[in-house]
Structure 1
Amino acid sequence: MLKTERHARILEHVSARGGINVNELSRLLNVSGATVRRDLQQLSRLNLLRRTHGGAVVGSLGPELPVQHRTDRCRPEKQAIAKAAVALVPEGAVVGMTGGTTVTEIARLLAARGPVTIVTNAVNIAAEMVLHKDVTLVVVGGYARTASYELVGPIAEKTLADHHTDMTFLGVDGISAAHGCTTHDQLEAATDRAFADSSSRTVVVADHSKIGKVTFAKICPLADIDHLVTDGAAPADQLERIADAGVPVTAVRPD
């Protein structure tokens, strides 16, 4: 297991349970206690958790995993979702893209496919796309969120209100029939909503861990979503409720 993947697993366990001890993590990750202690020390220095005697508890960032610790999580599923999502994009479309690891995979496939205009507030996506000669890149400015690599807030919302996209790919932290699309941060939610409002079509891309989940800040109701692309491991009952609410659902499996 790569160290980045191990760190992500540790943060997930600590976030889900509020705290965990070294022996439990050693068994869960199948690594030595010394390795776990080194990992916890590194994550503590980054303020991602707080070390305790014999373990760790949730740090000041709460339940949101920074994007660099989500890159390898469910990667085959995210790549399959991205492949299905790109098939929905017409040639020559202007495409809006929020932040997120799944949306990043979509951007890479679109850039490889040919000429496309991408409008994004994600600095990591912008940094990759600026190197592609077939990508016309528009970067939305704003306040930088280190957890998601996104530029958010009133500047971003004003820019989006003055532009129009044919399709937006929306990354979310949760989507459910009862609560719609949600994320961890209020400013990010408002900027994501502005992406949806400025687009002719909004497609949510979310791996199975986001389906049926509800987080702090509401982005928009399901009525504002035109399509959901997820993977086949998503809970069938949750997908059925979302489909019954009027959102077409595509569930794919990794190659």
Structure 2
Amino acid sequence: MSDSPTLSPAGHVRDDSAKHAAVRQRHEQMVHLVQEMGFATIGALAEHFDVTPQTVRRDINTLSDLGLLQRYHGGAGPSVSTENVDYSSRQVICRAEKRRIGELCAEHIPNRSSLFINIGTTTEEVAKALARHSKLRVITNNLNVAGILSDNENIEIIVAGGVIRHRDRGIVGESAVDFIKQFKVDYGIIGISGVDMDGTMLDFDYREVRAAKAIMENSRKTFLVTDHTKFGRNAMVRLGSIREVHAVFTDKIPPQSVLDEMDRGDTKLFVANMVS
């Protein structure tokens, strides 16, 4: 019997998934290493991971495009904390993971519930999964969410007023915050741009953070939906501690320091099963 890898009908080697998993693991370790060191040279990273400098350069370019590292001449540093990745790029980052996170979160929201859904590509995946529910009342400051749910006549949609951000169709500003504060709902579904290693939830726009805080304050339960790339990612504006939410829905187990903070707040963890 041959030891050579067999081909799938599409002509791909079946061990490709193992190779991709190894690359993903190296990327995650590289991000954590750079965050700990503050700056790492290409040579040091190549030696640490036992790969060529060309491979490291490709890794840095990929991670920089994802907003997870900052590319510099000769090496890499932590991602900047003042500017988010553009919306179109965020739509394709961890697309499958976000879809499963959205589906898992929706499973914990019963029909006839009231809820807030805020701005973000992962919260939009929750909305897609909720589109099959009935008798929901949804308040949102995200025009994309409103559009996703509008085809279901059994879902009542209430859209906050305020300033529309053209880049992602989110609604922000004092009017949006005041509008949100008029309601008290069963569930608040929020996304986030980053979670520091001490469990601090972070974002880039203070106006979006004010709306998210209003959602947390006026929801009986708050669910945070976020993919694993957000853990350890920097952003400038503080939303609060992860222990302040009732449950976290993600695709991988968070770092231990974040888990410790969740334990302090009795925050539940739900990890989406990914189909290989």
Q: Per the shorter chain, which TM-score range? A: 0.7 to 0.9
Cα displacement (A) at 1:132: 2.1
1:122 equivalent in structure 2: 142
Cα displacement (A) at 1:237: 5.3
1:154 aligns with 2:206: no
Cα displacement (A) at 1:195: 0.8
Mapping of 1:103-252 within 5 angstroms?
103-176=123-196, 178-232=198-252, 234-235=254-255, 238-252=258-272
Give CA-to-partner distance per residue, 1:103-135, whole Å, 9 cap, x none: 111111111232311111011111222232121
Aligned residues of 2:186 and 2:220 also touching (Cα < 8 A): yes
Aligned residues of 1:179 and 1:214 also touching (Cα < 8 A): no
Aligned-residue sequence identity (percent) comes to 21
Aligned residues of 1:67 and 1:149 also touching (Cα < 8 A): no
Aligned residues of 1:169 and 1:205 also touching (Cα < 8 A): yes
Cα displacement (A) at 1:16: 5.1
Cα displacement (A) at 1:148: 3.6
Aligned residues of 2:243 and 2:264 also touching (Cα < 8 A): no
1:82 aligns with 2:102: yes
AA matched with 1:168: G
- Number of residue pairs aligned between Structure 1 and Structure 2: 208
In structure 2, how many angstroms separate the alpha carbons of the residues matched to 1:171 and 1:67? Answer: 14
Match of 1:13 among 57, 61, 65: 65
DSSP 3-state at the match of 1:112: coil
Cα displacement (A) at 1:228: 0.6
Unaligned runs of 5+ in 1: 1-8, 22-60
Unaligned runs of 5+ in 2: 1-60, 74-80
In structure 2, how many angstroms separate the alpha carbons of the residues matched to 1:221 and 1:237? Answer: 12
AA matched with 2:241: P
AA matched with 1:91: N
DSSP 3-state at the match of 2:157: strand
In structure 2, how many angstroms separate the alpha carbons of the residues matched to 1:207 and 1:83? Answer: 13
In structure 1, how many angstroms separate the alpha carbons of the residues matched to 2:225 and 2:130? Answer: 15
Deviation >6 Å, runs of 4+: none
Aligned residues of 1:176 and 1:242 also touching (Cα < 8 A): no
Cα displacement (A) at 1:178: 2.4
AA matched with 2:190: L
DSSP 3-state at the match of 2:248: strand
Match of 2:93 among 62, 73, 76: 73
TM-score by length of 2: 0.68
In structure 2, how many angstroms separate the alpha carbons of the residues matched to 1:20 and 1:246? Answer: 40
In structure 1, how many angstroms separate the alpha carbons of the residues matched to 2:272 and 2:259? Answer: 12
Give CA-to-partner distance per residue, 1:19-54, whole Å, 9 cap, x none: 579xxxxxxxxxxxxxxxxxxxxxxxxxxxxxxxxx
Cα displacement (A) at 1:222: 2.8
